[in-house]
Amino acid sequence: MNDDSNLPVHEGPDPALDRWLDGLGRFSPRQGFADRVVAQVRVPLPRWLRGLRNWGRGLVTGVTGWTLLAVASLATAATWGSMLAVGMRYDTVVREGVSISWAEASAMVRAAATDTFVVPAGEVLVAGERWLAATGLPVRGLLIAYGITIMVSAIVLWWLMAEPARTRV
């Protein structure tokens, strides 16, 4: 599909053809027509991808699939049961360990966040303030110009995204 105008292939008008085409009704497909058409489209997969798909299907269907599901379920139940038994046996040690681990992890995350985000952001703000002071530009004027730029960009984007008049029905 393109947005070029449909020009006739010959120079002169053809009134008989124009009357005949005007007499035809427009095609108006029913609801869901595009979905039904796209559902019938088949895109063949490459051979290696078909083999991988069939291998995966064979792995998770039939007896093999049920066997893997049962083994994974038993392993999960055994892991959670062991963890629960150890947690109940050594509950004070677990609580103290979690408390210490949480305190250490949160302190490490706080320090990393400060070093990664807060300090550089403060340095950028200070550098920006110094640059504005050195140039003598009014901050209020820059903010107004920035706001106007945002509004113009939004209007142009809205205008560019509008549906062309010749495609509207």
Residue 58 in any domain: the answer is no
- Whole-angstrom distance, CA of residue 142 vs CA of residue 72: 61
Long-range contact list for 124-133, CB < 8 A, 24+ apart?
A: none
Residuewise pLDDT in 10s, the chain (169 residues): 455 566 656 666 778 888 888 777 777 777 888 888 888 888 888 999 989 988 888 888 888 888 888 999 999 999 999 988 888 888 888 888 889 999 999 999 999 999 999 999 999 989 988 888 888 888 888 889 999 999 999 999 988 888 776 666 5
Residue 6 in any domain: the answer is no
pLDDT for the residue numbered 71: 92
Tokens 């150890």 correspond to: 86
Residue 25 in any domain: the answer is no
Q: Which domain holds residue 121?
A: 64-161
- Whole-angstrom distance, CA of residue 163 vs CA of residue 3: 11
Tokens 């920035």 correspond to: 146
pLDDT for the residue numbered 16: 83
pLDDT for the residue numbered 1: 46
Question: CB 55: neighbour CB atoms within 10 A?
Answer: 9
**How many domains is the chain partitioned into structurally?**
1
Residue 44 in any domain: the answer is no
Residue 84 in any domain: the answer is yes
Residue 169 in any domain: the answer is no
State which amino acid sits at residue 75: A
Cβ atoms 55, 45 nearer than 8 A: no
Residue 40 in any domain: the answer is no
Residue 42 in any domain: the answer is no
